[in-house]
Homo-oligomer: A and B are copies of this chain.
Amino acid sequence: MTTLETQGLAAKNAERVLAAAGTAKKNAALEAIARSLAARQEEILSANALDLAEARNSGMRPALQDRLALDEGRIRGIVEGVRQVCALPDPIGTVTKMDQRPNGLVIGKRRVPLGVIGIIYEARPNVTVDAAALCLKSGNSVLLRGGREAFHSNKALISVMRDALEHVGLPRDCIALVEDTSRDSANELMHLTAYLDVLIPRGGTGLIRSVVENARVPVIQTGVGVCHVYVHAQADLDMAARILYNAKCSRPSVCNAAECLLVDRAVARDFLPMAWQLLQSRNVAIRGCPLTRDILGDFVTPASPADWDTEFGDYILAVKVVSGFEEAVDFISAHGTGHSEAIVTRDYFAAQRFLDTVDAAAVYVNASTRFTDGFEFGLGAEIGISTQKMHARGPMGLEELTSSKYIIYGTGQTR
C-alpha cells in the first residue's frame, strides 16, 4: 500500500469509531482541541515562523505572506472558531420522516456522516483547523492536503489536534495530514475511491478546475464566483451605487465579491458617473463595453471577451450596458458561475422574475452579493460555498457534510 492508501484505510477505520462516538464525546474532543491550540501556541508559532522564513526566501508576495502568517490574535480567532463549531447542534443521528407503513414496517431516515472527506487547499493555515473541526463535529474523518507553503504550520496544528483526539479517547486518525505536497499526492487523492467518500477543493480557480476535471472521487465544487450586480431601469440609484461599491470593494479577493456590473441603458448615463464617484475612492479599474467608455470616458479600458468570464479577485470591475431585463438575465446565464447574483430594482415584477429565472446558489434583490456566507445565512461555520447543484448548493455547513440511511424496524414482514 502507498502512504496515502495506508492513511485512507486508517481514516476509514477511525471513522467507524467516530460515527458511533456521540455528541458529548465529539464536543469533548473539540474542547480539548481548542484548549490545546491555545496552550501549545508557542509550538505552532515556531512552526509558522519556519514557513514564513521560507516564504520570504522564495520571494512570496507580501499579501500572500500575510495570509500565511499566524500570531497570537489569529490563533485566538482559530480557537474561537473551534468553540463555535462545538456550540453548533450535532447534525448526526437526527431521524426525519419516521413513519409506520400500512404493513407495519416502521421506516425512518437517519442522518449519518459522509465517511472520509478529503480537502485540497492552499496557503491559509486557519483552513486546516476550521475544516478539521467541521468534519469532526459531523462525524467524518478528514485527510487534509494543504499547500507546501504552510507545511510546518499545518503539521504543528494537526499534531496538536491528533493529540487532543487521543486525550479524549478518539482515534488520532480521524484527522490526518497528507505530508506529500507534490502534484502527485493531489492526483493520488483524486483517485482514492476505495477510501474517500468526497473531495472538496478550496482555493483558486486553477486548483478547483483541476480537481473537478481529474477526480474520480465525488467532488463538491466550491467557490469560483463571477458574480454580477444588475442595476435595473427602475432601481433606486443611490442604493444601487452603495450595493455595487460594497459588493466590489469590501473584500475583492473573496468569491462572493462582484466582478461585473450590468446596467440598463435607460439609467446608464445617470448611474455610471454616480457609481464611479464611489469606486474611484478605491482606485477600481473599469473594463467597459463601448457605451460605458462613451459615458465615462477614455480612462475606461475596453473590455476583452475574456473579461466577462474572469474572477478578478481584485479592484477591477467589468461593466456592460444592457438593453433591459432579458439581456441582463441572458448575460448572467452565459457568464455567471452560479454563485451569487443581485438585481437592484424598485419593480416588484422584475424582482420576482429575477429570483425565478436566475440559476445560481444565491439570488439577491436589493442587497450585496457579499452576504453569501455560512454565518451571514445563519448556518454557522461553513466548509465552503458549493457552486454545483448536486448534494449541496451555496454555503455548506454541518448538515451538508452528512448523508442519510433508512432504518427499518420489522416484525417479520415479507413482500
Q: Which residues of A contact B (CB under 8 A)?
A: 16, 20, 99, 101, 105, 107, 109-110, 112, 114-115, 197-198, 213, 216, 218, 220, 236, 239, 242-243, 245-247, 250, 351, 355-357, 359-368, 370-372, 376-378, 388-391, 393-394, 403-415
Q: For chain A, what secondary structure do more than half of its interface residues adopt (helix, strand, loop), or is it mixed?
A: mixed
The minimal Cβ–Cβ distance linking A195 to chain B, given in whole angstroms, is 13
Which of these, B110, B356, B410, contacts A365 with CB under 8 Å? B410
Q: Which residues of B contact A364 (CB under 8 A)?
A: 408, 410
Neighbour of A412 across the interface among B99, B243, B361, CB < 8 A = B243
The answer on a CB contact under 8 Å between B105 and A406 is no
Chain B residues, Cβ within 8 Å of A376: 101, 105, 415
CB distance from A245 to the nearest CB of B (A): 8
Q: Are A367 and B408 interface neighbours, CB within 8 A?
A: yes
10 contacts between A and B (CB under 8 A): A101-B377, A105-B371, A218-B218, A242-B414, A243-B412, A364-B410, A365-B408, A367-B410, A368-B413, A391-B391
Closest 10 pairs (CB-CB, A-B): A367-B410, A246-B414, A389-B403, A391-B391, A366-B410, A362-B406, A370-B415, A367-B413, A239-B412, A364-B408
- Once the chains are docked, how many angstroms separate the CA of A364 from the CA of B99? 14
Whether B403 and A390, one on each chain, are in contact in the complex, defined by CB atoms closer than 8 angstroms, is yes
* B-side contacts of A16, CB under 8 Å: 357
Task: Output the least CB separation between A138 and chain B (Å).
Answer: 13
Does A378 lie within 8 Å of B101, measured CB to CB? yes
Assuming the contacts A115-B389, A218-B388, A390-B114, asked whether A363 and B406 have C-beta atoms less than 8 A apart, the reply is: yes
Known: A105-B367, A377-B406, A378-B107. A390 touches B243 (CB 8 A): no
Contact B236 A414 (CB under 8 A): no
The CA-CA distance from A88 to B188 in the complex, in Å, is 44
In the bound complex, residues from chain B placing their C-beta under 8 Å from that of A407 are 355, 363
Contact call B393/A404, Cβ cutoff below 8 A: yes
Which of A107, A357, A360, A372 counts the most B-chain CB atoms under 10 A from its CB? A107
